[in-house]
Structure 1
Amino acid sequence: MISDSQSAPQLHKNEGIKTRSNYLRGTILEGLADVSTGSISADDQQVSKFHGIYQQDDRDVRANRRKHKLDKAYSFLARICLPGGVCTPEQWIVMDDLANYCAFNTLKITTRQAFQLHGILKGNLKNVINSCNEVAMTTLAACGDVNRNVMCNPNPFASEVHAAVQQVALEVDAHLKPQTPAFSEMWLDGKPIQLTVPQAAERSQDCKGDEVEPLYGPTYLPRKFKIAIAIPPYNDVDVFAHCLGFIAIVEDGKLLGFNVSVGGGMGMTHGNEKTFPRLGEVIAFCTPEQVVAVAEKIVTIQRDHGNREDRANARFKYTVERLGKEWIREELENRLGYKLEEAREYKFVSNCDRYGWTEGADGKWHLGLFIEGGRVVDLADKPLKTGLLEIAKVHKGEFRLTANQNLIISNVAAEDKATIDAMVEQYGLDGYKSASGMRRSQIACVALPTCGLALAESERYLPTLVSDLEVILEEAGLQNDEIVIRSTGCPNGCGRPYLGEIGLVGKVPGKYNLYLGAGFDGERLNKLYRTSVTHQQIIDELKPILLAYAKEREEGERFGDFTIRKGYVQATTAGNNFHANIGAEA
């Protein structure tokens, strides 16, 4: 008889769902064909995430529909990958058109430099995915227990280096895509998936040897996996918030290689101190030619050693926390078959975006635009969606989606600047000129009404909070100061709230946990200051701190640093002390 201590571990139910899915097929096609409901089965909802699709419903109308004994107002979210956030005008035009067939008639720029379309009816999903594929965009692996959209700093100051780094991002993204033919069979009628860089046809020898999924195998990864690439001195991708990060090392305008960081991630669970946000740790340096292999081997380490029993502790950050960064480096080098170099010096100064015109090293110009909440929508006084469509029709360069949910009109020739400027003004896209520094430095996740995990408002709430705080900022003379404020409707951290100098995390409807003290460079987590505070309480708590900051800050001191120096919160030196020593009582 086998004792409890000797029995096989109980795997999380999602592991069985993946195993039974026949490499991500499940019964999705049968569910799509069922016209009696707008939903698909619970198991298929998990499988469909690998295809970049989430089932949702409009929570604003739930109660009324329940009252009338109606089914939920089901629809789907489609997330469209754009490695590095680079988007051609042709792709933008297609996305704009697809948004017109969605319930909300908007485009959402995500914090991972991707597009989201909300409110897609089940019968329209195939058309959306097909249309994206025709212009070399895909929803494959935008979600699910695989590597997701690879991010890259859209740095307009380093045009030549950016091109080289962007190429690396494309290659890593393509190499780590799932290889199952299910996606093509189900959505594209067997047509090949169109990627900017052709998908890798082979995997190296220490992958699983599985004919269908040589890298992932039939159960894929224990949880989602995220990669970002940063080009110092700007950390606008929050590279340390990712499972795996690459920090470009540049000398004399030449890309030498990348520092490698491991073990970052934002999510946690309220009331579960075994879960916490964690920043990645730098472990080594690799050359540009080694990046794809390093990424692959790190993914296989997580595949083989990640927690498949408890999804709350299944992210790679917990694998690194449990095994240690030294073990990770040793195992990485064993799998690579060679040693990596020691990390090089670098310096970050900001994780914010830059606005207005900047000139690149190649003489082309880049215009940074502020898109509040990443929501591209036509408003009565600001027809942003129409304006960007008209710009896309004449723009000869590209668009770059930023990790702060903003947009860069990129690679504009000097002779075309005046045309772009006129259109930006005509369609109200010049809001960056009048917005406060705090408003320009905000991130909000979608939350209600579409996210099923949201405990409180976020995207629909944060602009209102910022408006009320701007009254205090004006009184204090801080209107133009960049103070990073971030909000999420739940603790999963999609808006990277734990890297906000001011962070808000939804607790229950109308109440938030308030965090202070993150580093402006994205290299320090914040700390819990107050729990379950209302809108007015947030304002009342922040007002004296903001006024004190205006009067007592040191030269060049950032707001997050000030809150630590003055003792409002203690510095979070590592994720595993994130929950300890909350802010001093008032």
Structure 2
Amino acid sequence: MLTSPTPSVPTGKTSKLEGIKERSNFLREPLATELLEDTTHFSGDGVQILKFHGSYQQDNRDNRVKGQEKDYQFMLRTRSPGGFIPPQLYLALDRISEEYGNQTLRATTRQGFQLHGILKKNLKAAIAAIVQNMGSTLGACGDLNRNVMAPPAPYKNRRDYTLAWQYADNIADLLTPQTGAYYEIWLDGEKAISAQEDPAVVAARQRNGNGTIFQDKEEPIYGTHYMPRKFKCAVTVPGDNSVDLFSQDVSLVVITDEAGELQGFNVYAGGGMGRTHNKEETFARVADPIGYVSKDDVYDLVKAIVATQRDYGDRVNRRHARMKYLIHDWGVEKFRASVEGYFGKAIEPLKPLPPFKYEDYLGWHQQGDGNLFVGLSIQNGRVWDRDSLQLRTALREIVTRYNLPMRVTASQNIILYEIQPAWQREIQEILTRCGIQSETDIDPLERYSMACPALPTCGLAITESERILPSILDRVRAVLDKVGLSEEHFVIRMTGCPNGCARPYLAEMGFVGKSPDAYQLWLGADPNQTRLSRVYLEKLEIDNLEATLEPLFVYFKQEQASRPQRESFGDFCDRVGFEALRQFAASYATGSATAPATEKSAKRPPRRRINVRDAVYQQVKVEAKRQGRPMSELASEAIAAYLEELKSQG
């Protein structure tokens, strides 16, 4: 008989958040009480419980004024398994962002939408509107299972893709909090009509197994204290890594027979991106293969994995509380043995799989049932109307006119589907009129890039990310052009802090905020996000970007000239090793590296400083924020225009 080891008792005091969860009466207090108070924000305890309901309390750091209260506002995040957004919900989100938010939506890296800028007094109305329009925010944040991911491609002739969607929905249902707090607080106790749960999911939630549930708790799976930290799941199909499966706590890969009938799932566990600067005990990690489970046992196995992390995850040190650290500390064999104890049987060996490949599904495609889908590239996920780009207008018009569902992708893009062939020309005309580029017109550096929101709203942000990445991509492209690599591209991801929300540690080139205007530079992951990158440079001052990247690109170009097949930049960095990269860069700086004459003599660009009056600086800052552009870019344009005017006046 397989048995699970007895959970160890923490030797020290548990973290403060464990007490907050215990006192919350299953996520009710102090949130319910404080929501009724005429204040602009919640207490520290209230903020922590609010996360479980799908919202973060933030403040706009651009608007901070010394001696005055912070500009408090709230971010709402949808729970959308597989990225599914029905047309009714999308139009509701669009209205909510207009009425209560900052007039934008943001597609997330976990296939949901975020709304920003909501005031506390409007929080209840906003959440109620989401729920009443076929959506939810419950469990989008907090110490429990987050949004379950799945490939966004709506192939109707691919049984495995249909199964991935189905099981993403079912696992999301299985691990949804059962507390009545959500509906009591936001809908005055009225539970919205939702889809009927699969009977197998209901039965699995009630089945105890070997200690996987609490019989006497309002939360049968989570218990009083929920999970030690956030928990992330994905379901995908063989070969499809559109969900960054190796970054998840648990990933399931659909296994079918030759007739397309479901047999079971390969299981991976222990991935995670979050880390802390200067804390070597924290690190990014890719998931390990755990084994195979038959379709009849998949829910029990998921519960067994959740129970293992629930009972053994670190509840003392939150930096060490993710499941990746449990697997790292125990090793895969001990972890598997513990899971098997809860599961009640041995986990079978992994089934053979083809290599995984990153997919983004941009452009027009056949669904397989006569209808079409179209994938739209959304720069950093931000849905708005700005200058010549009228993305928000286009989506509202298309969804309203054709009643189309959509899927948000893990790359912050959007797929519209169920498009009748007769509508294709009209929809494309709307997209073109609103300035939305096709996938072939977008610079691949932009197409394969991602950034987190960072400043000004994220409280953890150390430096810029979303607002600065477009200008960084332009600068990277300029360096590639300079050294003769105009056709080259690779995966670039940027975050304003080391928590890794845009998964920079799986990018070929990752920028991770280290200090204001400085980033760690990570290199060496592969284009399909199956291998971690590593720190190449601890602190890259962003003014030195070109001087840092140029020798790397020159070295890359020289190496490719002698190779019979194209090599990605990430694979090149991993193959030659960082010591060789650093040696080449050092010799390049002194002019001794083997490089074309024009490149040999290249010097570091000078760091120029121009001081301006405080009032002018503030004006530029406000205008840059309004346009969503870097201040340096706006200032350079203004100065150039002024000088051109002087020149024209003689």
Could you tell me the TM-score, scaled by structure 2's length? 0.83
User: 2:344, 2:480 → 1: CA distance?
Assistant: 55
Does residue 234 of structure 2 align to residue 228 of structure 1?
yes
Render the CA deviation track for 1:34-70: whole Å, top value 9, x for unaligned: 22x31110011111100011100000011xx22xx32
User: 2:482, 2:362 → 1: CA distance?
Assistant: 24
What does residue 574 of structure 2 align with? 564
User: How far off its partner does 1:287 sit?
Assistant: 2.8
What does residue 248 of structure 2 align with? 242
What does residue 10 of structure 1 align with? 13
Partner of 2:416, secondary structure, is strand
What does residue 24 of structure 1 align with? 27
Render the CA deviation track for 1:439-492: whole Å, top value 9, x for unaligned: 100010010000000001000111110011122333456555441000000001
AA of the residue aligned to 2:573: T
AA of the residue aligned to 1:229: V
Q: Is the 8 A contact 1:527 1:582 kept in 2?
A: no
Question: Which has the higher mean CA deviation after the structures are superposed, 366-375 or 157-166?
Answer: 157-166
User: 2:365, 2:425 → 1: CA distance?
Assistant: 14
User: 1:464, 1:425 → 2: CA distance?
Assistant: 24
Question: Which has the higher mean CA deviation after the structures are superposed, 401-410 or 157-166?
Answer: 157-166
Q: How does 1:243-282 map to 2 (within 5 A)?
A: 243-252=249-258, 254=260, 255-282=262-289
Q: Is the 8 A contact 1:133 1:194 kept in 2?
A: no
Q: How does 1:476-515 map to 2 (within 5 A)?
A: 478-515=485-522
What does residue 321 of structure 2 align with? 314
CA pair 100-396 structure 1, distance change in 2 beyond 3 A: closer
Question: Which has the higher mean CA deviation after the structures are superposed, 120-129 or 150-159?
Answer: 150-159
What does residue 406 of structure 1 align with? 413
AA of the residue aligned to 1:144: G
What does residue 297 of structure 2 align with? 290
User: 1:253, 1:546 → 2: CA distance?
Assistant: 47
User: 2:504, 2:519 → 1: CA distance?
Assistant: 12
What does residue 58 of structure 1 align with? 60
CA pair 80-173 structure 1, distance change in 2 beyond 3 A: same
Identify which of 497, 522, 540 aligns with 1:533: 540
Partner of 1:228, secondary structure, is strand
User: 1:144, 1:582 → 2: CA distance?
Assistant: 41
User: 2:190, 2:296 → 1: CA distance?
Assistant: 31
Equivalent pairs, count: 567
Render the CA deviation track for 1:123-181: whole Å, top value 9, x for unaligned: 11111111111122111110000001000111345643212210100000011011111
User: 1:190, 1:41 → 2: CA distance?
Assistant: 23
Question: Which has the higher mean CA deviation after the structures are superposed, 211-220 or 330-339?
Answer: 330-339
Partner of 1:78, secondary structure, is strand
Does residue 175 of structure 2 align to residue 176 of structure 1?
yes
AA of the residue aligned to 1:495: A
Does residue 304 of structure 2 align to residue 303 of structure 1?
no
Partner of 1:276, secondary structure, is coil
CA pair 388-340 structure 1, distance change in 2 beyond 3 A: same
Question: Which has the higher mean CA deviation after the structures are superposed, 236-245 or 476-485?
Answer: 476-485
User: 2:579, 2:220 → 1: CA distance?
Assistant: 47
What does residue 191 of structure 2 align with? 192
Question: Which has the higher mean CA deviation after the structures are superposed, 280-289 or 458-467?
Answer: 280-289
Render the CA deviation track for 1:379-400: whole Å, top value 9, x for unaligned: 1101101110111112354211
User: How far off its partner does 1:256 sit?
Assistant: 3.5
Q: Extract unaligned runs of 5+ from structure 1.
A: 1-5, 571-580
What does residue 3 of structure 1 align with? none
Partner of 1:420, secondary structure, is helix
What does residue 448 of structure 1 align with? 455
User: 1:174, 1:187 → 2: CA distance?
Assistant: 20
User: 1:174, 1:193 → 2: CA distance?
Assistant: 15
Q: Is the 8 A contact 2:356 2:530 kept in 1?
A: no
Question: Which has the higher mean CA deviation after the structures are superposed, 78-87 or 362-371?
Answer: 362-371
Q: Is the 8 A contact 1:80 1:139 kept in 2?
A: yes
What does residue 332 of structure 1 align with? 339
User: 1:236, 1:24 → 2: CA distance?
Assistant: 33
Partner of 2:521, secondary structure, is strand
User: 1:372, 1:331 → 2: CA distance?
Assistant: 43
Q: Is the 8 A contact 2:226 2:310 kept in 1?
A: yes
**Structure with bigger gyration radius:** 2
AA of the residue aligned to 2:59: D
User: 2:487, 2:443 → 1: CA distance?
Assistant: 5
RMSD over equivalenced CA pairs, Å? 2.2
User: 2:44, 2:548 → 1: CA distance?
Assistant: 42
AA of the residue aligned to 1:390: E
Q: Is the 8 A contact 2:479 2:549 kept in 1?
A: no
User: 1:297, 1:532 → 2: CA distance?
Assistant: 41
User: 2:264, 2:368 → 1: CA distance?
Assistant: 20
Q: Is the 8 A contact 2:10 2:316 kept in 1?
A: no
Partner of 2:544, secondary structure, is helix
Question: Which has the higher mean CA deviation after the structures are superposed, 345-354 or 305-314?
Answer: 345-354
User: 2:297, 2:554 → 1: CA distance?
Assistant: 49
User: 1:583, 1:81 → 2: CA distance?
Assistant: 47
Partner of 1:286, secondary structure, is strand
User: 2:142, 2:10 → 1: CA distance?
Assistant: 29
Partner of 1:425, secondary structure, is helix
What does residue 145 of structure 1 align with? 143
Identify which of 209, 214, 239 aligns with 2:215: 209
User: How far off its partner does 1:252 sit?
Assistant: 3.9
What does residue 427 of structure 1 align with? 434
Question: Which has the higher mean CA deviation after the structures are superposed, 110-119 or 330-339?
Answer: 330-339
CA pair 550-236 structure 1, distance change in 2 beyond 3 A: farther
